[in-house]
Structures are given as C-alpha cells and as structure tokens.
Amino acid sequence: MDQLSGGSMSNAAAVSVPVQLPGPVQIPLVGWRTRGLRMLGDPAEYFMRQYARYGVVSAWNPQNPRHVFAFGPEYLKKIFAEPEVFIADSFREVRIPEQSSFYRLTNGLLRRNGDPHRKHRRLMQPAFTARRVLVHRETVADVTERCLSDWRTGDVVPMHDALARIIMLTAMRTVFDIDAPAKIDRLQGLISRLLRVAASPLTLLVPYDLPASTFRTALRTCEEIEALLLEMIRERRAGASAGRDVLTSLVNAVDEDGSRLTEAELVGEAYTAFCHDSSTATLMWTLLLLDQHPQLMNDVVDEVRAVCGGSPPDDEQLGRMPLLEAVLKETLRLLPPAPMLIRYTSRPTPFGRYQLPSGAMVFFSSYVTHRLEEVYHDPLRFDPGRWERESPSTYEFLPFGAGAHNCVGRHFAMLEMKTVLAVLLQKFRPALVPGTRVDRSMRVSLVPSHGLPMRLLPRGARTSPAPLRGNIRDSVRLP
C-alpha cells in the first residue's frame, strides 16, 4: 500500500513539473537584446547554430521561455494551424506610434489577425488568384524588355540594382498603373529609403522620434509615401476606375456585408501589395546558382528557347517550363527571401512536450527547415531534379509561409520571376565577375550583401563556374 501510494505521489509530482525547453546556460548581463543583435547580424547562420546545438525547438532562457525557436515541421504545423494562438504582429518590438503614417503603412495583412485578417484577405484575394495574375504577364514582359534594351553584351551589370529596377517598375504598373518617370523615381526613392532604415538595427534599438535617428527618418519617409498613396486612392474613388491594377481592385472591392476598405486600410494593403523585394532577392540568387552550375544554365536556356522561341512567354507557355520552375523552387528552398519569421502567443499554450507562456516570441525559419536531412536528401546541394523525386509537405517547404498568413502574392511572384528570367536568358548569359565576394545579408529579404556584379555574355556562350568567396558557401555546396 505504501509503495502504491509513493508511486502515485511520484507520478503526480512528475506530471505537475513542466518539461524544460532545451537552451543555453544563462550568462549574467547577456540578455535577449544582446542575443537579438547577434541574431540580426546573420539570422541564417544564427538559426543554424541554434538548431545544431539544441535541436528543432529551444529557448534563449529555458527557465523563462519568452523567446523560443521552432524549426521542425511538427512545430511549424502547430504554429500555422492555430493562428488564433500564434498571432502575427510585425514590428511589435519597434513600438510604432499608432497615429503615425508608419503604423498605417505597416498595418496590412502581415499584421492583422482574426476577423480583421479574414476580411482583408477576402477583399484582396480576388486580385491575386493564379488565373487573375495572368492579366499582368504582358506588363512584366514589357517592363523587362524595356529595361534590357539598354544592356549591351560585355557590360558589367550591378545585378541587384538592375533587377530591383525591373521589379520596382513592374510593381508601379501592376499595383498602381503608374508609368510616369518622375512619379516612379520619387516613389522608388522613398521606398528604397524606408527599406534601408527599417532594416537598420538602430530602428529597433532606438524607436524614438529623436533628431538624426533612423526612426525619425522612417517616420518622415512614411508620411511622404502615405501622401502619395492617398492621392492615388482618392483618384480611383473619384473616377470609379475599372482598371486592372491592384489598387483599383482594392478600392472597388466590396465585402459580403457590403463594407469596403477604409482609406487607412487601403494605405496598408496597397503598401503590402507593392513590396516585391523578395522577387528581386530570389532572381539574384537564381542567376548566381545557375552561373555556378553551367550545364544546368544551358539546359534552362534550351528549355526556354524551345518553348518561347525567342519571345516573352504567353499564358500557356508559362506552364510548359518545368525545369525553370524547379530551378526557382530549389532557389527558394536554399535561399528563402524571409529566413526568419515571428509569431507571438496570445495565451499560454502547449507546444509539443513543452508549455509556452502568453506573450512568448516564437521565431521560426524556413531556411533551417529546408535543410533538415530527414526531409531533404543531401540538403546543401542545389538540385532542381529533386522536385521530380521529392514531395515535401506544406510544413516542410514554405518559402511563402503557410496557413492563414501565407503570402497572398505568391502566384504573382512566380509569374513575375518566370517571365523576367525567360526574357533575360533568351537575350544574355549573365556570368558572375570572377573573385566576387558573396555574403548573405538580411536586409528586408536575404540578399548578397555586396550586390552581384555580372558580365553580360552572348546568349549561347559556354562558361565555367566563376570563382567566388564569401559565406554563401555555408548555405549551398558550390563547385
């Protein structure tokens, strides 16, 4: 009887004690902000090290799990399947004033939850279905051909700037229906400035409207951007435009209860729709990886030319280039534009064997998940052919996220990137300048920190992999 009683008491005690998350030993004076600064320096490397040391789930402080890391598909499934528990709240740590333009610009889908998120998603989704985005294919091709008309064989092109220009002009046309050079240059300059200061650690560390602060620069830049957006929104409303651009679709969208987006809501969603920085990043990495795999470059060019015959792809041809699509998917697997994302727990919640408190910040990383050996064979190898053999689940391949907050523009992004590459690779063979240093850098997206200088060779040129330096070799096994 005593033994049974003792056993019952031991079991009860064991059940009442929560399982502690893996994590580092706590060091005096090393708080979460210190670790956060190290993480922001190179999130991809930091997350891989965290995974290597502590596994698929861990915390900075196991005794007080306010900052948690989750990398395995089973944990990601829980995060994405329970959006009411794991909520999105971009820029929470920056403490943006609620009455500011900065707040309104960033208060789009990426920041909304629950019924407000579902409503905005319903109103935005029709403009971004796989079929609807095809109306923009000719615009993407036209912008790309116009930009490439200034390129000449033998030129060395700063590929980041060149591709960013193509993507920016495309966004101007497809989202806002703007083709006026002065307006384009002004908005491009403002957006570039905002992206630069928003990515600065100083904006996070010193979120105060102080003279010469990056935060003040962000606030004032947002005011100018909002003024331009409001001007275009009011023009659409006054003219009852029937145009095909995204802004017109949002202005005219009516919810099932008859309501429309307010001006403040339109500002946030228009800005969300406009930011295509991830497409620029993926296009750069794709050209780099093809340069480092010349035979694969040859095969892609042969496929594109066989399908398109020297012209931009039409709607039907876009679906007949499986190798090009596999190359893009493999690039997104190895170098996803957003290697880190964050959710916050809205209440205490079980997390596998563990328990998370309310308000915990949960970091997760497609960059790490896409490198799990139990999911992908030889994960550091650039192997587009794997997409014929492997079928990862929604929570194993997630460059565009998953669940309620998956990227609403994912179909447009794939159309845009396929079209730009199909036009570019039928005109030139970009080759990395030998000796270039290529390091990962987390700006708004994961990009080469020093840009990507490439020499334009004739389309049929045969090349060898250009020698390169940098920590990109930690991300992918190169020749």
Query: What's the pLDDT band for 8 if we cut at 50, 70, 90?
Result: very low
Whole-angstrom distance, CA of residue 157 vs CA of residue 148: 11
Digit-coded pLDDT (tens) for 337-384: 999 899 999 999 999 999 999 999 999 999 999 999 999 999 999 999
- On whether the CB atoms of residues 437 and 427 are closer than 8 A, the answer is no
Domain that holds residue 128: 93-338+399-475
Count how many domains the chain has: 1
The H or E element containing residue 89 is: none
Q: Is the pLDDT of residue 5 over 50?
A: no
Any domain includes 7? no
The β-bridge relationship of strands 341-345 and 361-364 is antiparallel
DSSP string, 100-169: SHHHHHT-SGGG--HHHHHHHHHHHGGGGSTTGGGGGHHHHHHHHHHHHTT--TT-EEEHHHHHHHHHHH
Q: What is the CATH number of the domain that holds 241?
A: 1.10.630.10
User: What's the predicted TM-score (pTM) here?
Assistant: 0.91
Any domain includes 292? yes
Any domain includes 6? no
Whole-angstrom distance, CA of residue 142 vs CA of residue 129: 21
Digit-coded pLDDT (tens) for 124-180: 999 999 999 999 999 999 999 999 999 999 999 999 999 999 998 999 999 988 888
Whole-angstrom distance, CA of residue 306 vs CA of residue 301: 8
The H or E element containing residue 60 is: none
Length of the chain: 479
Mean pLDDT computed over every residue of the chain: 90
Residue 396 is predicted with a pLDDT of: 97
Report, as an integer, the average pLDDT of 63-74: 95
Q: Is the pLDDT of residue 23 over 50?
A: yes
Any domain includes 58? no
Residue 379 is predicted with a pLDDT of: 98
Whole-angstrom distance, CA of residue 377 vs CA of residue 355: 32
Any domain includes 242? yes
Q: Is the pLDDT of residue 224 over 80?
A: yes
Reduced to 3 states, what is the DSSP secondary structure of residue 477? strand
Any domain includes 39? no
Q: Is the pLDDT of residue 182 over 60?
A: yes
Q: How much of the chain, in percent, has pLDDT values that exceed 90?
A: 73
Sorted by sequence, the CB contacts under 8 Å of residue 474 that are 6+ apart come out as: 45
Whole-angstrom distance, CA of residue 458 vs CA of residue 460: 6
Residue 337 is predicted with a pLDDT of: 94
Distances in whole angstroms, Cα of residue 39 to Cα of each of 269, 343, 396: 29, 16, 23
Residue 17 is predicted with a pLDDT of: 56
